[in-house]
Amino acid sequence: MSDKINRVAFVGAGNVAWHLSQAFQKAGCKITEVYSQNIENARALCEKLNSGTAKNELDFSESKAQLIVISVKDDALTDLVKQLKLPQVTQPIVVHTSGSQPLSIISDSLPSAGVFYPLQTFSKRKEIDLSRSPVLIESNKVKDKGLLLELAKRISNYVEEVDSSARTSLHIAAVFACNFSNHLFAIAKEILNKKGLNFNLLEPLIEETVYKAFSHSPKAGQTGPAIRKDEEIIQKHLLALKENASYQQLYELLTRSIQRHA
């Protein structure tokens, strides 16, 4: 293998592969193949890239790729790796893009294995500047690690080597910061919509909250009835949520968590 990765194949054609493949292409890589169980999804990504062969079989034995990126659901990784057929002579590096799965899930089966985890939330309809998104690298070989770091630095200004244990903690933190907060936004929107109010009313508040979290700290920026221990307001809110027991429970759970952390 050369001192630079220039040919990449993708196993998976979902949101992460959609963005990562385009970033690699802009960084000078040729996308050689795209696999998906649904061949139409693979074809759609190849058409977007104007590059690569769409396939719905995991036979990469004739591939010229130096790197094979597995970007599929976490629970599909183990079985997929067992089915993957690689070239006999040249040995590509195989990486997964999961934040929660360890390196060992593929390194136990493959000699050249790694993790290439872009810490970002992806959807096909939204363009993302990956240069502003952290990319976290792990590998079971020193030489492969160098190649993966070099490639990551071509697409991102924030590249770090992070092991599986630390990456799991980072992924948990990301679930709290991104997935859970987005769910709370959805609940807030639902509450507003029932009263004919626009969710955009909360946009300045959300923007200021995020700004303060990073310019100061989340704990220092905490406001609201929970941190003030304003039980009269808390009980009033709980009463207003009486028609939805799950929201009531969530409100109280978060309120007491804020108070315990104060």
pLDDT at site 1: 52
Distance (Å, rounded) from C-alpha 154 to C-alpha 8? 14
Reported pTM: 0.89
Tokens of 140: 């079971």
Sheet containing strand 53-55, edge to edge, reads 53-55, 30-35, 7-11, 67-70, 93-96, 113-118, 135-139, 159-161
Distance (Å, rounded) from C-alpha 243 to C-alpha 246? 9
Non-local CB neighbours of 192 within 8 Å, separated by 6+ positions: 198, 199, 201, 202
Element counts in the chain: helices (H) and strands (E): 11, 8
- Residue range 157-169, pLDDT digits in tens: 999 999 999 999 9
For the domain made up of 7-162, give the CATH fold: Rossmann fold (3.40.50)
Max Cα-Cα span within the chain: 72
Percent of residues, the chain, with pLDDT higher than 70: 99
Residues of the chain with CATH 3.40.50.720: 7-162
Q: What is the mean pLDDT of the chain?
A: 94
- Residue range 101-145, pLDDT digits in tens: 999 999 998 989 999 999 998 988 888 889 999 999 999 999 999
- pLDDT tier at 259, thresholds 50, 70, 90: very high
Distance (Å, rounded) from C-alpha 59 to C-alpha 97? 20
Non-local CB neighbours of 237 within 8 Å, separated by 6+ positions: 225, 251
Residues of the chain with CATH 1.10.1040.20: 167-261
Tokens of 45: 């990504």
**Among 5-19, 77-91, 231-245, 248-262, whose mean pLDDT is lowest?**
77-91
- Residue range 37-73, pLDDT digits in tens: 999 999 999 999 999 999 999 999 999 999 999 999 9
CATH superfamily ID and name for 167-261: ProC-like, C-terminal domain (1.10.1040.20)
